[in-house]
Amino acid sequence: MQQTALNLTAIAIFTITLSSLVGPFLHISPLVPTVTTIGLMGLLGIDTLTWQNRGISIFLDLLSGQEHRRRIIHHEAGHFLIAYLLHIPIADYSLSALEAWRKGQLGLGGIILDQETLQKTEVKELPITLERLSTVWMAGIAAEQIVYNKAEGGEGDRQQLYAALQLSGSDKSTYPVKERFAILQAKTLLQKYPQAYQTLVELMERREPVHLCYKALNLLTQQS
């Protein structure tokens, strides 16, 4: 999202610069682009430093089309199902920065894991927990690749994975290999439970609460 903010800033500056050039021909005061530039840059700075670009994300959410929103649901449903299958507890989810803000959640939306439970992980269980979390983080990319043949989202997921691998002391040269392995594991599980995944997509599209999603998954995965 930081790259998105930079792109929007560049576009805004270009637009304002262009308006300052054509302004005299349209009898627009030179103060207008100047004041607009100062105001816009100030808002972008506040949003970046205080809200971690959440304001821009909310703005983009409001402009996004139905197909983009459907892609997000498929992405997040991938995270949800894999977390469920690997026994990583889910506290809540939101499908946009606006929904996250309304729920008082930090971040820009997505699956919220139960941090309290994860913090109780014993030291001897950390390697297997990291492997499971890696698969959960890469599950959104895996889901998009299955449904759309390529992933557009997931950069934040990849950053989470790499940060965790760095903390674990993994050699940086192994990051891409571990990323691909996690995606492969996620794909294998998603393709094993297609009905559960599709049902979860529909439930999340209706914004059904986590406990109802769990109830449906309990039934569908036991049948597989």
| Tens of pLDDT, residues 26-60 | 555 555 555 555 555 554 554 454 545 555 555 55
Residues 45 and 74 in one domain: no
Residues 43 and 90 in one domain: no
Query: What is the average per-residue pLDDT within 147-171?
Result: 93
Residues 112 and 29 in one domain: no
Cβ atoms 4, 53 nearer than 8 A: yes
Q: What percent of the chain has pLDDT over 90?
A: 54
Residues 38 and 135 in one domain: no
Q: 176 in a domain, yes or no?
A: yes
Q: What percent of the chain has pLDDT over 70?
A: 69
Pairs from 181-185 (Cβ < 8 Å, separation ≥ 24): 182/131, 182/134, 182/135, 182/137, 182/138, 183/138, 183/141, 183/142, 183/145, 184/142, 185/135, 185/138
Residues 207 and 134 in one domain: yes
Residues 42 and 71 in one domain: no
Query: What is the average per-residue pLDDT within 181-210?
Result: 98
Q: 96 in a domain, yes or no?
A: yes
* Domain coverage including residue 12: 2-51
* pLDDT of res. 57: 56
Domain count, the chain: 2
Q: 120 in a domain, yes or no?
A: yes
The CATH number given to whatever domain includes residue 177 is 1.20.58.760
Residues 162 and 86 in one domain: yes
List CB contacts of 179: < 8 A, sequence separation 6 or more. 134, 138, 158, 161, 162
Q: 140 in a domain, yes or no?
A: yes
Most confident by average pLDDT, 3-17, 50-64, 184-198: 184-198
What is residue 94's DSSP assignment?
A: E
Residues 46 and 107 in one domain: no
Q: 60 in a domain, yes or no?
A: no
Q: What is the pLDDT of residues 73-84, one digit of tens each?
A: 999 999 999 999
Q: 169 in a domain, yes or no?
A: yes
Q: 138 in a domain, yes or no?
A: yes
Instruction: Map residue 67 onto helix, strand or coil.
Output: helix
Cβ atoms 95, 69 nearer than 8 A: yes
pLDDT at 71 over 70: yes
Residues 128 and 36 in one domain: no
Residues 18 and 94 in one domain: no
Q: Could you tell me the pLDDT band of residue 100, with boundaries at 50, 70 and 90?
A: confident
Strand pairing class (90-94; 110-113): antiparallel
**Enclosing H/E stretch for 38:** helix 31-51
Residues 86 and 172 in one domain: yes
* pLDDT of res. 174: 96
Q: 109 in a domain, yes or no?
A: yes
How much is the mean pLDDT over the chain? 81
